Amino acid sequence: MAHAAPAPYAAPAAARIRAQIDRLYREGIVHCDDGFTKSLYPTSVTPGRGRFLGDLMRKFGPSATLEVGMGWGLSTLHLLEGMLQAGGVHQPHIVIDPFQNTRLHGGALRVIREAGAADLIEFHEEPSEILMPKLVAQGRRFDFIFIDGDHRFDGAFVDLVFAHKLLNPGGVVALDDTERDPLYLACRFAETNWGYTYEGGHSDRATAAPGRHRYRRARPRAQIAAWRKPLHELERGQLHFVSFVDDFTPYIRANRLDSNRLAHQGLVALRAGDRAAARRAFGAAIRQDPAHLKNLFRYFRTYLPSGMARLLTGRSKRG
């Protein structure tokens, strides 16, 4: 990544952007061109997450940058401010958001314009999953990519797959909301299967402490985090896959599906009057998902005389 000397325009431009960031956080609303007034949250990065993004720019001074998901423009402002402070915006920062002029009423574009930063960005009103492959085909490469678009697993994972293709070796990808399962899972895949290294993260509030999880070696999830692409891509055989769900399991209770299936078997057995089979099934369900307390009650219920069980629960006719 380049470390150019600060361009003469950089300091005043950064100051204008900072003034806009401060004003937006102070007022908490965005005025759109069509007269709509919208609340900054929950869409926008918080000041802490914005600082994290700016710090990445100040630390790495990337030349070619890409952002997925513009919202009200707060993350874009933080990134531009950081780039300017790191030496300047060397080429327009590419921002992708298919809903900017519809759902978002052009709010971010106005915010960027008011900050005097319209010339610093290249905006694309297209879904990232359509635009990013085009950028790959054009041979474009980036030093830094920020992903904060479609937060569903398929959307996030596809963004990360194309970010992987678009990043230069040693480039950095940051994602927002990495404490959420879809984002967390996608990033764990990049770490375990592509060899990405964790650069650091930030949380506005303390996330779950590592000691609370079954897999204590799991790193607590940050709310925004960054990873560095390896300088040399890992050799991957066609069928090579490194399992990465171990420390994911305790968060999503991935065993909930199995647990539900077993609990269902238990209920069926209970209805058939087979309390021993029901007990076995509920016991197995508890082992799959100890946090699901309902199965614990069902398990103990299998020890009660059927009349008392009926009295307590008022449910089963025969169990």
Ligand X SMILES: C[S@@+](CC[C@H](N)C(=O)[O-])C[C@H]1O[C@@H](n2cnc3c(N)ncnc32)[C@H](O)[C@@H]1O
Binding site for ligand X (CB under 6 A): 43-45, 68-72, 74-75, 96-99, 103-104, 127-129, 148-150, 155
Alpha-helix residue ranges (DSSP H) falling in 167-274? 181-194, 249-252, 256-271
Q: How far is the CB of 45 from ligand X (least distance, A)?
A: 4
Q: How far is the CB of 218 from ligand X (least distance, A)?
A: 25
For 45-68, give the DSSP string. Answer: PPHHHHHHHHHHHHHH--SSEEEE
Nearer to ligand X among residue 46 and residue 63 (C-beta): 46
Residue 89 CA to residue 317 CA, distance in Å, equals: 72
Instruction: Report phi then psi at 94, rounded to 5.
Output: -85, 130
Nearer to ligand X among residue 82 and residue 155 (C-beta): 155
Q: How far is the CB of 176 from ligand X (least distance, A)?
A: 6
Q: How far is the CB of 57 from ligand X (least distance, A)?
A: 14
Instruction: Report phi then psi at 225, rounded to 5.
Output: -155, 165
Nearer to ligand X among residue 40 and residue 269 (C-beta): 40
Which residue number is nearest to ligand X in terms of Cβ?
71
Nearer to ligand X among residue 120 and residue 309 (C-beta): 120
Q: How far is the CB of 141 from ligand X (least distance, A)?
A: 20
Q: How far is the CB of 208 from ligand X (least distance, A)?
A: 22
Nearer to ligand X among residue 103 and residue 287 (C-beta): 103
Nearer to ligand X among residue 57 and residue 96 (C-beta): 96
Nearest to 111, CA basis, from 22, 215, 51 = 22
CB 160, CB 131: distance < 8 Å? no
Alpha-helix residue ranges (DSSP H) falling in 69-152? 74-85, 107-114, 128-137
Q: How far is the CB of 280 from ligand X (least distance, A)?
A: 46
Return the number of other C-beta atoms located less than 10 Å from residue 51's C-beta. Answer: 18
In sequence order, the 6+-apart residues with CB closer than 8 A to the CB of 18 are 81
| 101 alpha-carbon distance from chain centroid | 24
Nearer to ligand X among residue 81 and residue 150 (C-beta): 150
Nearest to 68, CA basis, from 196, 182, 185, 157 = 157
Instruction: Report phi then psi at 30, rounded to 5.
Output: -120, 135
CB 219, CB 210: distance < 8 Å? yes
Nearer to ligand X among residue 97 and residue 247 (C-beta): 97
Q: How far is the CB of 270 from ligand X (least distance, A)?
A: 45
